[in-house]
């Protein structure tokens, strides 16, 4: 896919580097996180990928669900990036229950880690480095990816630390004018504590499955 769209990637990278945003699609490479990656990354040139995780029932009469982990290349223009033919399928899981994320993706993470450190030889022996910048998914998918409590648990919010209370057989989350917000450091430290001690730490149940390959600022 990279060879097939080499010219498209090069042209769009030039637009990204020169901040030639058409202001129509408000694309990721023109936003704060990507710009920070662009200025802080020593290993150039690079391409970046964003993960997609989702589960789809295989039929009404069956409890089997197909889970797919895929990724897309951010240096492809959106009209090409979002085509099914350009979505890179990384791994699949089929089962009657949600996947055991560490078991499912353990070998996959090691391979991606190797790919990230070694880079890619694309055209005429050019070496491009690869970075993974994030993940997209619905609530059940992100819960798995982050190894976080579900959306009806205590401390279920991914942005703040509102605990929630149980009233009348319902979990409720009272409004707080100035809630304690999560940060990059709190995600790292609390998920590590949960991993080491095997306990729930403010909603973290374990370390995120891709902690060793996600690009951090």
Specify the pLDDT at position 184. 86
- Mean local confidence (pLDDT), 98-103: 88
Query: Could you give the CA distance from residue 48 to residue 123 in angstroms, rounded to a whole number?
Result: 17
- pLDDT digits 0-9 by tens, 30-79: 988 888 888 877 677 888 999 999 999 988 877 899 999 999 999 999 99
- Mean local confidence (pLDDT), 105-123: 87
Specify the pLDDT at position 161. 93
- Decide if 153 contacts 164 (C-beta within 8 A): yes
Lowest average pLDDT, out of 26-30, 94-98, 119-123, 164-168, goes to 119-123
Banded model confidence at residue 216, pLDDT cuts 50, 70, 90? low
Axis crossing angle, helix 6-17 with helix 32-40, rounded to the nearest 10: 100
Reference 36, options 117, 133, 115; nearest CA is 133
Specify the pLDDT at position 55. 92
Reference 16, options 75, 93, 87, 82; nearest CA is 75
Specify the pLDDT at position 215. 60
Q: Using H for helix, E for strand and C for coil, what is the string for 81-149?
A: HCCHHHCEEEEEEEECCCCCHHHHHHHHHHHHHHHHHHCEECCCCCEEEEEEEEEECCHHHHHHHHCEC
Specify the pLDDT at position 46. 86
- pLDDT digits 0-9 by tens, 7-30: 999 899 898 888 887 766 689 999
- Decide if 30 contacts 19 (C-beta within 8 A): yes
| The Cα angle at residue 63 between residues 58 and 68, in degrees rounded to 5 | 45
Specify the pLDDT at position 217. 52
Specify the pLDDT at position 42. 67
Return mean pLDDT, the chain: 88
- Decide if 105 contacts 69 (C-beta within 8 A): yes
- pLDDT digits 0-9 by tens, 154-172: 999 999 999 989 888 888 9
pTM value? 0.84
């Amino acid at each position: 896919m990279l060879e097939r769209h080499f010219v498209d990637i090069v042209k769009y990278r030039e637009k990204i580097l020169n901040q030639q945003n058409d202001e129509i699609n408000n694309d990721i490479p023109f936003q704060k996180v990507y710009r920070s990656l662009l200025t802080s990354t020593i290993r150039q040139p690079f391409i970046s990928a964003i993960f997609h995780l989702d589960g789809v029932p295989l039929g009404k009469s069956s409890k089997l669900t197909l889970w797919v982990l895929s990724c897309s290349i951010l240096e492809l223009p959106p009209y090409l990036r979002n085509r099914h033919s350009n979505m890179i399928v990384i791994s699949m899981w089929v089962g009657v229950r949600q996947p055991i994320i560490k078991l499912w993706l353990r070998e996959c993470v090691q391979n991606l880690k190797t790919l990230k450190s070694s880079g890619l030889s694309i055209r005429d022996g050019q070496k491009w480095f690869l970075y993974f910048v994030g993940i997209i998914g619905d609530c059940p998918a992100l819960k798995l990816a982050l190894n976080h409590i579900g959306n009806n648990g205590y401390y279920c919010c991914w942005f703040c630390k509102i605990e929630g209370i149980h009233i009348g057989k319902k979990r409720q989350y009272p409004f707080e004018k100035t809630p304690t917000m999560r940060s990059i450091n709190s995600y790292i430290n609390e998920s590590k504590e949960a991993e080491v001690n095997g306990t729930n730490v403010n909603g973290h149940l374990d370390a995120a499955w891709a902690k060793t390959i996600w690009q951090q600022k």
